[in-house]
A = this chain, B = another copy of it.
Amino acid sequence: MTPEALKIHIEGIGQVARAASRPIARASTAAKNRALQLAAAALRRDQAALLEANQADLAAARGAGQDAAFLDRLALSAASIESMATGLEQIANLQDPVGEVTGLARRPSGIEVGRMRVPLGVIAIIYEARPNVTADAAGLCLKSGNACILRGGSEALRSNQIIARAMHEGLQGADLPKSVIQVLDITDRAAVGELITLKGLVDVIVPRGGKSLIDRISHDARIPVIKHLDGVCHTYIDASADVEMAIRVADNAKTQRYGTCNTMETLLVHRAIAATVLPSLCALYREKGVELRGDDAVQRLVGGIKPAQEADWYAEYLAPILAIRIVPSLDAAMDHIARYGSQHTDAIITNDWNHANRFLREVDSSSVMVNTSTRFADGFEYGLGAEIGISTDKLHARGPVGLEGLTSQKFVVLGNGQIRGG
């Protein structure tokens, strides 16, 4: 397609989505749930076709020399298709956020003012070649009353189209327009550039994927972006921490999974407790093959630890590597987090009431925790039911973003003839 034709094509998709956003915004909860359930049934029925399409995607990706991690994210199985279908059914079971009115109260003028939760409108989701995101994101947008435009990595296009077909079948079975969910079939990368500048047609962009993708989209977008940047998460073991708890939680925060954004990347330890905690904790990490990098004080306390460089304090390793620093106070720990952290998730292990409270109030991260593992920062664990991502932005939605994060609130005003100044 010429750049001109591409622009017109993407604008057309935006206009179709904008038009679809009105019927889906006013759709009943029953209709939306029915669409999700029918789509889940269609996915199960079409399992063989979806696996076949996925095999073709995988073969092409392999031929293009994609690495094992890439192929792993792209690959579907009978189990992962079942889990996609179950995911849609779970979204159907979540409470519908749309239409909820809160805070309705009478004002001195006699009018009643409250807020009604409403869909955002049109959401564009840009993600990598991970077909499960297609069902998941489409389901969340549908339930929250939004139209969506999905642009997954082109290597997953065959799989995504089968999934889209199932979603469309669900929509049509519930008498909803299939244009509520549009899956872009343009593999041209320039399509993304057009999509993220569709001001007035798209209300918000949700990029999901690696840092470079998200950085590029945030930079070029002319539309608000709900994004997740780094997860440089800290655990701070305070002087008063319970030693056994500190070791258990700090171990879990680092080693339960290495590649997730809520994994601890830097451990801060108060100097008064370092000698008690660090030797056995470091032994535990080493047993599990975690490479340790420490400041001078840590190196003096535990033998054979590599020196941490300035860059280590900023690092999101997403790997079995951990930076460790000994700090003289709670304030020093919070200063470290303010300077090097990414405002994702930070935890304190303490038995000091005042320190716990100060940490909760003063650490400016999307999740702040006391006496538990950073690994809990997750929409399911928080009870949101499902998540479209974890936001490290400060406006609109911070932390795990579920159905509520895909909605906004408008004011509703009820009167019986009141006039201003009257």
Interfacial residues, chain A to chain B (CB-CB below 8 A): 22, 25-26, 99, 105, 107, 109, 111, 113, 116, 118, 120-121, 203-204, 219, 222, 224, 226, 242, 245, 248-249, 251-252, 256, 338, 347, 358, 360-362, 364-373, 375-377, 381-383, 393-396, 398-400, 408-422
Query: A26 touching B417 by the CB < 8 A rule?
Result: no
Chain B residues whose CB sits within 8 angstroms of the CB of A362 once the complex forms:
22, 25-26
Tell me the bound Cα distance from A22 to B331 in angstroms: 12
Query: A420 touching B375 by the CB < 8 A rule?
Result: yes
Task: For the complex of A and B, list the 3 residue pairs with the smallest distance between their C-beta atoms, beginning with the closest.
Answer: A372-B415, A252-B419, A375-B420
Tell me the bound Cα distance from A59 to B144 in angstroms: 56
Most buried by B among A249, A361, A365, A372: A372
Tell me the bound Cα distance from A360 to B367 in angstroms: 34
Tell me the bound Cα distance from A373 to B109 in angstroms: 11
Asked if A367 meets B249 with Cβ closer than 8 Å, knowing A26-B361, A381-B420, the reply is no
Tell me the bound Cα distance from A393 to B360 in angstroms: 30
Query: A120 touching B394 by the CB < 8 A rule?
Result: yes
Query: B418 touching A399 by the CB < 8 A rule?
Result: no
Chain B residues whose CB sits within 8 angstroms of the CB of A375 once the complex forms:
419-421
**Copies assembled:** 2
Chain B residues whose CB sits within 8 angstroms of the CB of A204 once the complex forms:
394-395
Tell me the bound Cα distance from A373 to B157 in angstroms: 51
Q: DSSP majority for the A interface?
A: mixed
Chain B residues whose CB sits within 8 angstroms of the CB of A393 once the complex forms:
224
Question: Who on chain B is nearest to A393 by CB?
Answer: B224
Chain B residues whose CB sits within 8 angstroms of the CB of A366 once the complex forms:
410-411
Query: B364 touching A25 by the CB < 8 A rule?
Result: yes
Tell me the bound Cα distance from A239 to B249 in angstroms: 65
Whole-angstrom distance from the CB of A64 to the nearest CB of chain B? 35
Asked if A121 meets B364 with Cβ closer than 8 Å, knowing A372-B415, A398-B409, the reply is yes
Tell me the bound Cα distance from A41 to B155 in angstroms: 66
Asked if A105 meets B383 with Cβ closer than 8 Å, knowing A249-B417, A398-B409, A410-B366, the reply is yes
Most buried by B among A203, A365, A400, A420: A420
Whole-angstrom distance from the CB of A132 to the nearest CB of chain B? 21
Chain B residues whose CB sits within 8 angstroms of the CB of A381 once the complex forms:
107, 109, 111, 113, 420
Query: B121 touching A372 by the CB < 8 A rule?
Result: no
Tell me the bound Cα distance from A410 to B382 in angstroms: 12
Question: Who on chain B is nearest to A380 by CB?
Answer: B107
Query: B372 touching A411 by the CB < 8 A rule?
Result: no
Chain B residues whose CB sits within 8 angstroms of the CB of A371 once the complex forms:
414-418
Question: Who on chain B is nearest to A395 by CB?
Answer: B396
Query: B383 touching A411 by the CB < 8 A rule?
Result: no
* New A-B contacts (9) at CB < 8 Å, excluding given A121-B364, A203-B394, A249-B419: A111-B372, A111-B381, A113-B381, A242-B417, A249-B418, A369-B412, A372-B413, A381-B420, A396-B408
Question: Who on chain B is nearest to A347 by CB?
Answer: B413
Partner of A415, one of B109, B369, B413: B369
Chain B residues whose CB sits within 8 angstroms of the CB of A111 once the complex forms:
372, 376, 381
Tell me the bound Cα distance from A417 to B224 in angstroms: 38
Question: Who on chain B is nearest to A107 by CB?
Answer: B383
Query: B367 touching A413 by the CB < 8 A rule?
Result: yes
Query: B248 touching A417 by the CB < 8 A rule?
Result: yes
Chain B residues whose CB sits within 8 angstroms of the CB of A416 once the complex forms:
245, 371-372
Tell me the bound Cα distance from A151 to B185 in angstroms: 46
Chain B residues whose CB sits within 8 angstroms of the CB of A400 once the complex forms:
411
Query: A418 touching B376 by the CB < 8 A rule?
Result: yes
Query: A367 touching B411 by the CB < 8 A rule?
Result: yes
Query: A408 touching B382 by the CB < 8 A rule?
Result: no
Tell me the bound Cα distance from A381 to B110 in angstroms: 10
Tell me the bound Cα distance from A362 to B99 in angstroms: 10
Chain B residues whose CB sits within 8 angstroms of the CB of A249 once the complex forms:
415, 417-419
Chain B residues whose CB sits within 8 angstroms of the CB of A252 once the complex forms:
419-422
